[in-house]
Amino acid sequence: MQTKELWFTENYSDDARFSFRVDAQLYTHKSRYQQIDIYDTPQFGRVLVLDGCVMLTEKDEFIYHEMITHPALALHPDIRTVLVIGGGDGGCVRELLQYPGIQQIDLCEIDRDVIKACRKYLPQTAEKLDDIRVELHIADGIRFVRQKKNAYDLIIVDSTDPFGPGEGLFTREFYGNCFGALTENGLLVNQHESPYYREDALAMQRAHRQLSAVFPQASVYQVHIPTYPSGHWLFGLAAKTPLDPTVFDEAAWNALGIPTRYYNTALHKGAFALPNYVKELLNEKA
């Protein structure tokens, strides 16, 4: 008798899907906000899925978490206070804690069950959530940021896609409140969706439009994430005081000696060079 094979599938569009084999379902739970699943897989290690969308895999989460943090830190070496919105898996926090200059990280995650599940099943990302410099806030990031003024040198929006609980984190009002919560030279980095499949590309355009309406400068950079739709993903980098995101003190960043498997200073500069079709999508008027 053959044992039944278990496969997970994420729908990328009505006409495209991505599947991988599952050895075991380690966790499944419907929280107040979303469906949370964690799988063990032979190809990608453990995988966190929210509402049917892959959030991270042990095999490639380093790409996402290095690239959502290090470019901003290389551009603004004096970052002391950071707010992470979402990010209950702890991956961003793990990367940020490598900077001795960072004094305080507020992590604002809406769903306490995500943190609980990641602590138990995803120590690779969650292991540093108890660091003394980290303060956990189980709260809605939209409300949390409204009450903060001139408080953070960096805000990282490590959200889900703009459907469900993550939706409000892609609005002009939210970005406006982030602007107010940032210090004078503050930076905002957000996960900026993918330019490839239609729905994702629309979300990407919307995010860019709203960010550009609020910040004097909103740049976009790209990364390769094999387990996200199309493998081609974008991040946004918005600055309260305009800057060239490819100009920074490379020697100073390298002197920090932070071990990375994806990020390096040459790649940082190249990541802001976008394909023409992406530039066109970003420049399209609504």
Residue among 195 and 240 whose Cβ is closer to ligand AG3: 195
Residue 183 makes CB contacts below 8 A (sequence gap 6+) with 81, 150, 151, 152, 153, 240
Selected from 91, 186, 195, 236, the binder of ligand AG3 by CB under 6 A is: 91
158 binds ligand AG3 (CB under 6 A): yes
Selected from 34, 93, 161, 220, the binder of ligand AG3 by CB under 6 A is: 161
At closest approach, how far in Å is the CB of 9 from ligand AG3? 12
Token pair 């499949």 is found at 197
At closest approach, how far in Å is the CB of 270 from ligand AG3? 22
d(CA 160, CA 192): 10
At closest approach, how far in Å is the CB of 197 from ligand AG3? 9
Selected from 60, 89, 95, 111, the binder of ligand AG3 by CB under 6 A is: 89
CB 137 within 8 A of CB 111: no
> How many beta carbons lie within 10 A of that of residue 232, not counting itself?
17
165 binds ligand AG3 (CB under 6 A): no
What is the SS3 string spanning 70-110? Answer: HHHHHHCCCCCEEEEEECCCCHHHHHHCCCCCCCEEEEEEC
Among candidates 44, 91, 42, which has minimal Cα distance to 66? 91
197 binds ligand AG3 (CB under 6 A): no
Selected from 87, 141, 236, 245, the binder of ligand AG3 by CB under 6 A is: 87
Stretch that binds ligand AG3, among 22-30, 94-102, 158-166, 244-252 (CB under 6 A): 158-166
d(CA 263, CA 281): 26
229 binds ligand AG3 (CB under 6 A): yes
- Name the residues annotated as catalytic: 158
111 binds ligand AG3 (CB under 6 A): no
Selected from 47, 56, 114, 182, the binder of ligand AG3 by CB under 6 A is: 56
Backbone φ and ψ for 11, nearest 5 degrees, come out as -85, 120
At closest approach, how far in Å is the CB of 111 from ligand AG3? 12
Among candidates 134, 194, 270, 142, which has minimal Cα distance to 10? 194
CB 184 within 8 A of CB 177: no
69 binds ligand AG3 (CB under 6 A): no
d(CA 231, CA 110): 27
Selected from 54, 107, 188, 214, the binder of ligand AG3 by CB under 6 A is: 54
Which parts of this chain interact with ligand AG3 (CB under 6 A)? 53-56, 64, 87, 89, 91, 158, 160-161, 191, 228-229
